[in-house]
Amino acid sequence: MRILYHHRIGSKDGQYVHIREVVAALQAQGHEVRVVGPGGFEDRPFGGESGLVARLKQFVPAAFYEILEFGYNLLDYRRLAAEIRRFRPDVIYERYNLYLLSGVLARRAFRLPLLLEINAPLYEERSAYGGLRLKRLARWAERQAWRKADRIFTVTHVLAQHITAAGVAAERVVVTPNGVDLGTFPRSLPVYARREALGIDTPLVVGFVGFAREWHGLDAVIRLLAARPQSHTFHFLLVGDGPACEGLRRQAAATGVAHRVTITGLIEREQIADYVRVFDIALQPAVVAYASPLKLLEYMASSCAIVAPDAANIKELLIDNENALLFDTGATRGFETAVMRLLEDGSLRERLGRSARATVESRDLTWACNARCIASTAGELLAGRRDRQPAWSRR
């Protein structure tokens, strides 16, 4: 099958990881995949954003920037249409972005099935946090994209409910949680050589991967570290960067535990697995309500003992005291209590870690499984369209 993967992401982050892993899994299963996205995207470093996009966000009025987002469809459709003529795909697979409608236009013009991957309700998200200005246009664009797609792939049942509430028929929505490559994240004990290289000399490591923000609540880990006696201490390893990191460094220095805290800064994607294997306890301290956190699957595959909130989307993957410890987000010290329990109970850590890995294996929470689901869905759509061939000759 020939699959044209279309996106409009501007930075190499978790979104990029998802694209790369899905494309690689589809190719490994024998499908031809062509990726169409913003120019120069592949040349950016991991964690890097388009300089032009960053400057526009900083210097132009928000409403004008949104007009540019909408206007991008004119440029993008020409590029997408040219690639369709060259590649002659069987289907278009698109990663949804607000104001992005060129895939919908190509679906109609070339009579191709459109599979839309939705990772967030971006109208709602940007209205709440991003200062969305052209709300009527944004809402219309989102509904057009969602309702015109032949099938929608989404990462949680929580998000699927958002989509069906917007008028999309439930039978057109497929839930595929984020996945993991079990070859990249093998089942193993913590890697002590990596600990030594990082200057970690404590028997236990509590870890977090990602872009740390204040709402993650990682300051609670520093408080817990400062409160423990030296003979029962641990090391906090934050693999990543983010706006909360400077505050965490200051807090650690002020409480005398800076030597027990390591913040790596941005790490190349290929190295993440080695760092996660250092963790004894892995943290998902807060979560967006509809997300399927990529880090969570990687923690599970690495046999980490996980602490996570008892949110509905998290409970689609984790069961309290079976493959993780889930804490009550309404409790004052629920997060710290769960971390303390794992610090004190080695057998519990081992049992939860084994069960987390077993969950990934038994439910096949892998990119390969996601790719099979995409291909199977595309095949079903194509089988129902045998009397409506793509319009190659007229475009």
Distance CA(54)–CA(76), nearest Å, equals 19
**How many other C-beta atoms lie within 10 A of the C-beta of residue 182?**
17
Residues 19 and 99 in one domain: yes
* Angle formed at CA 247 by CA 307 and CA 212, multiple of 5 degrees: 45
221 shares a domain with 334: yes
Q: How many domains does the chain have?
A: 2
The structure's pTM equals 0.93
- 71 within domain boundaries: yes
> Do residues 247 and 359 both lie within one domain?
yes
In terms of domains, do 159 and 305 share one? no
Q: Could you list the pLDDT tens digit for every one of the 395 residues in the chain?
A: 999 999 999 877 889 999 999 999 999 999 999 999 997 666 666 665 555 666 667 778 989 999 999 999 999 999 999 999 999 999 999 999 999 999 999 999 999 999 999 999 999 999 998 789 999 999 999 999 999 999 999 999 999 999 999 999 999 999 999 999 999 987 765 566 678 888 899 989 999 999 999 999 999 999 999 998 887 899 999 999 999 999 999 999 999 999 999 999 999 989 999 999 999 999 999 999 999 999 999 999 999 999 999 999 999 999 999 999 999 999 989 999 999 999 999 999 999 999 999 999 999 999 999 999 999 999 999 998 765 667 654 44
Instruction: Write out the two tokens for 391.
Output: 């319009």
| 308 found inside a domain | yes
The CATH number assigned to the domain holding 200 equals 3.40.50.2000
Q: What is the largest CA-CA distance in the chain?
A: 75
- Domain assignment present for residue 227? The answer is yes
Is the domain of 66 the same as that of 154? yes
**Side-chain-side CA neighbours of residue 56 (13 Å):** 14
Q: Structure tokens of 2?
A: 């020939």
Q: Has residue 186 been placed in a domain?
A: no
Residue 392 lies in a domain: no
Domain match, 104 and 202 both: no
Asked if 223 and 147 sit in the same domain, the reply is no
The three-state (H, E, C) secondary structure of the chain, written as one string? CEEEEECCCCECCHHHHHHHHHHHHHHHCCCEEEEECCCCHHHCCCCCECHHHHHHHHHCCHHHHHHHHHHHHHHHHHHHHHHHHHHCCCEEEEECCCCCCHHHHHHHHHCCCEEEEECCCHHHHHHHHCCCCCHHHHHHHHHHHHHHCCEEEECCHHHHHHHHHCCCCHHHEEECCCCCCCCCCCCCCCCHHHHHHCCCCCCCEEEEEEECCHHHCCHHHHHHHHHCCHHHCCEEEEEEECCCHHHHHHHHHHCCCHHHEEECCCCCHHHHHHHHCCCCEEECCCCCCCCCCHHHHHHHHCCCEEEEECCCCHHHCCCECCCEEEECCCCCCHHHHHHHHHHHCHHHHHHHHHHHHHHHHHHCCCHHHHHHHHHHHHHHHHHCCCCCCCCCCCC
Residues 200 and 80 in one domain: no
Integer Cα distance of 125 and 284 in angstroms: 20
Q: 319, 309, 262: which is closest to 287 by C-alpha?
A: 309
Nearest alpha-carbon partner for 356 in 386, 383, 311, 320: 320
Is the same domain home to 145 and 212? no
What domain range includes position 136? Answer: 2-179+366-383
Asked whether residue 353 falls in the same domain as residue 213, the answer is yes
Considering the domain architecture, whether residues 108 and 207 belong to the same structural domain is answered as no
The verdict on residue 185 lying in a domain is no
Whether 393 maps to a domain, the answer reads no
Same domain, 372 and 339: no
Q: Is residue 395 part of a domain?
A: no
